[in-house]
């Protein structure tokens, strides 16, 4: 059965070591809303994960690719995904949206591929983007060393908020009011403030404040994986009275069943 609206996690790895060792996969998030397919943050192995999915996810069915930032674990496969989406450049189509620093100096999106797509847009604040039946905007600028934006995506009657990599800052949660809240939780402990990533207790505060219909933890670093994310998610669910799950590689969430 083909689902109408779903989120599929082609990877749940966060942070260098988990990605380098492929302790979890790092293919990004495939989102299908109202018959439009987009791929968010195609990290290393994204193409392989698409083609290895059951049922297969064909990159040629994509109408767009979105990068929240230029780090390798989010952008490594963007070029091959553009090539696959456009049938090697023979079917010019699709939209690519990425922050300016992914496109300008030392670009992660190769220039020779840019003519393969219909449109390249710069992800920035105070602009609404449309890809097929999905509309989205950059929620707020994150504190993450490179230009980074979380997303609010709309389509098929759903509002999905995606808090990508960031250091916590006061008010962060106020930008992410979706029914479905995806949070990159790299760190189990909040001790080391030099690392610009959210920790589990920060994610908990965000979920407690926002009370989404469903919160999904993903993008796990080593300390999170060691602490068994599925157990942590179930503890949070019980404590907060909000449905919280930990994403696993290949997890598909049928949004119409929520």
CA dist 65 → 151, 155, 189, 197, 217 (Å):
13, 16, 32, 23, 21
- Residue (16 or 205) nearer to Zn ion, CB: 16
- Residue (165 or 173) nearer to Zn ion, CB: 165
Which range in 5-13, 44-52, 69-77, 95-103 contacts Zn ion by CB under 5 A? 69-77
Show the binding pattern over residues 133-172: x = contacts Zn ion (CB under 5 A), - = does not.
--------------------------------x-------
- Residue (63 or 73) nearer to Zn ion, CB: 73
- Residue (63 or 165) nearer to Zn ion, CB: 165
Regarding 71 and contact with Zn ion (CB under 5 A), the answer is yes
Regarding 73 and contact with Zn ion (CB under 5 A), the answer is yes
Q: How many residues bind Zn ion (CB under 5 A)?
A: 3
**Nearest CA-CA partner of 176 in 147, 184, 190:** 184
Of residues 222-251, those binding Zn ion (CB under 5 A):
none
- Residue (71 or 158) nearer to Zn ion, CB: 71
Name the minimum Å distance from CB 142 to Zn ion.
9
Regarding 70 and contact with Zn ion (CB under 5 A), the answer is no
Name the minimum Å distance from CB 222 to Zn ion.
13
Residues lying near Zn ion in the complex (CB under 5 A) = 71, 73, 165
């Amino acid at each position: 059965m083909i689902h109408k609206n779903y989120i599929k996690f082609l990877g749940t790895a966060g942070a260098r070591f988990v990605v380098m060792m492929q302790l979890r996969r790092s293919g990004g998030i495939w989102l299908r809303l109202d018959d439009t397919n987009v791929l968010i943050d195609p990290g290393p192995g994204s193409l392989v994960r698409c083609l290895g999915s059951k049922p297969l996810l064909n990159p040629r069915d994509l109408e767009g690719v979105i990068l929240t930032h230029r780090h390798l674990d989010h952008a490594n496969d963007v070029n091959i995904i553009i090539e696959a989406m456009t049938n090697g450049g023979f079917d010019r189509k699709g939209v690519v949206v990425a922050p300016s620093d992914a496109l300008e100096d030392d670009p992660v999106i190769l220039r020779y591929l840019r003519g393969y797509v219909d449109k390249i847009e710069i992800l920035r604040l105070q602009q609404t983007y449309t890809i097929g039946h999905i509309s989205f905007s950059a929620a707020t600028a994150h504190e993450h060393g490179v230009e980074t934006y979380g997303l609010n995506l709309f389509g098929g009657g759903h509002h999905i908020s995606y808090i990508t990599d960031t250091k916590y800052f006061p008010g962060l949660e106020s930008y992410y009011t979706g029914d479905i809240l995806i949070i990159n939780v790299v760190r189990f402990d909040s001790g080391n403030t030099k690392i610009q990533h959210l920790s589990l207790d920060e994610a908990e505060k965000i979920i407690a404040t926002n009370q989404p219909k469903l919160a999904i933890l993903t993008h796990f670093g080593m300390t999170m994986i060691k602490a068994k994310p599925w157990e942590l998610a179930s503890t949070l669910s019980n404590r907060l009275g909000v449905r919280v799950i930990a994403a696993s590689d290949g997890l598909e969430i049928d949004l119409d069943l929520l």
